[in-house]
């Protein structure tokens, strides 16, 4: 599933083509993609509206809409496993997996393409309410080191599942959690409330560094599904230190990378660089 860097990349690349454009036509091939709305309801909600901006919240792409200069809601897109956004010239065939299309006032079309049909392309009258359960943005100003320390201490959970919890921190997924934990030498089974202040500080910095580096490389393409709106793969997968490298030597110490299951998620780590936490003696 695309994580924050991939979603941010998609938002940045489609933004110049969509901001300020008016939606003149709609085409819906798979109604379930609309998240409960009918084709007719969706079309009535968005036709004639302009896309005011293109942004991101967690793993969601958010496109606020205006009609007659009044806010009417937003398009909220979740790519899930195989969703893609493409802006195409008139007459370009989007292929058999195009689920939703928006005809724009310059003749081009915004297509939502999704092979496995898990993604969502929804109109939300109140996007803030729809996204209210998300935690802070790890690249936002509100994500301070001191605030992060307080959040970790209050939860008292295993660090890997906690960082994956979107209500705790928005946008992180399996790849970038594993990479961040390895950089800081933290085992995924460590309790969040038992991290020393120095480790919290290091993890706070590592999360931001990993995400920024991945965005710079337009995300990670470790399978055939994630591609940018321009059809290109990301390149951060070539920088992976642990994720997907089971049995290969750790780039820090040379020991083989291991794969374990934590919270029902495959988890990659170096057992030497990330020693398992010792049980406390009562």
Alpha helices in 19-115 (DSSP H): 39-46
What is the distance between the alpha carbons of residues 54 and 253, in angstroms, rounded to a whole number?
42
Cβ contact 100:58 at 8 Å: no
Q: Is the domain defined by 4-130 classed in CATH 3.20.190.10?
A: yes
Q: Radius of gyration of the chain from Cα atoms?
A: 21
Secondary structure (DSSP) of 156-207: -SBHHHHHH-TTTSSS--HHHHHHHHHHHT--TT-BGGG--HHHHHHHHHHH
Enzyme catalytic residues: 2-3, 59, 265
Q: Which two tokens stand for residue 126?
A: 């109140």
| Among 13, 59, 7, residue whose Cα is nearest residue 214 | 7
Q: Which two tokens stand for residue 60?
A: 């969601």
Cβ contact 4:78 at 8 Å: no
CATH 3.20.190.10 location in the chain: 4-130
CATH of 145-269, one of 1.10.150.240, 3.10.180.10, 1.10.8.50, 3.90.850.10: 1.10.8.50
pLDDT in single tens digits along all 282 residues of the chain: 799 999 999 999 999 999 999 999 999 999 999 999 999 999 999 999 999 999 999 999 999 999 999 999 999 999 999 999 999 999 899 999 999 999 999 999 999 999 999 999 999 999 999 999 999 999 999 999 999 999 999 999 999 999 999 999 999 999 999 999 999 999 999 999 999 999 999 999 999 999 999 999 999 997 778 899 998 999 999 999 999 999 999 999 999 999 999 999 999 999 999 999 986 645
């Amino acid at each position: 599933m695309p994580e924050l860097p991939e979603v941010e990349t998609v938002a940045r690349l489609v933004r110049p083509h969509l901001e300020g454009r008016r939606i003149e036509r709609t085409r819906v091939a798979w109604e379930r993609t609309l998240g409960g709305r009918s084709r007719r309801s969706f079309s009535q909600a968005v036709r004639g509206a302009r896309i005011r901006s293109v942004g991101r919240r967690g793993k969601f792409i958010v496109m606020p809409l205006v009609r007659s200069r009044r806010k009417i809601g937003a398009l909220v897109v979740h790519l899930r496993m195989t969703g893609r956004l493409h802006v195409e010239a008139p007459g370009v065939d989007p292929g058999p997996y195009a689920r939703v299309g928006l005809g724009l006032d310059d003749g081009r079309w915004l297509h939502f393409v999704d092979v496995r049909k898990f993604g969502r392309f929804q109109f939300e009258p109140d996007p803030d309410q729809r996204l209210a359960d998300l935690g802070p943005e790890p690249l936002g100003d509100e994500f301070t080191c001191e605030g992060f320390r307080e959040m970790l201490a209050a939860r008292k959970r295993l660090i890997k599942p906690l960082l994956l919890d979107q209500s705790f921190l928005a946008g992180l997924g399996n790849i970038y959690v594993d990479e961040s934990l390895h950089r800081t030498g933290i085992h995924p089974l460590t309790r969040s409330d038992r991290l020393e202040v120095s480790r919290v500080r290091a993890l706070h910095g590592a999360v931001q560094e990993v995400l920024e580096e991945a965005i710079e490389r337009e995300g990670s393409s470790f399978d055939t599904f994630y591609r940018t709106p321009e059809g290109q793969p990301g390149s951060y997968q070539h920088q992976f230190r642990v994720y997907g490298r089971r049995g290969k030597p750790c780039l820090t110490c040379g020991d083989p990378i291991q794969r374990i299951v934590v919270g029902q998620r495959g988890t990659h780590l170096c057992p030497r660089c990330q020693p398992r936490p010792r049980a406390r003696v009562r």
